[in-house]
Amino acid sequence: MKYYEDTDEPILECDGTNHLGDHVWELVDARGISCGMVCEKCVKQRKASYRPEIFTDPNYDTMETDLYGSWADDEHDY
In this predicted structure, what is the pLDDT of residue 2? 83
| Separation between Cα atoms, residue 47 and residue 56, nearest integer Å | 12
**In this structure, are residues 1 and 21 in contact, taking their beta carbons and an 8 Å threshold?**
no
Of residues 18 and 73, more confidence is placed in 18
What would the pLDDT profile of 11-59 be if each residue is shown by its tens digit? 888 887 888 888 999 999 999 999 999 999 999 999 999 999 999 999 9
| Separation between Cα atoms, residue 19 and residue 37, nearest integer Å | 9
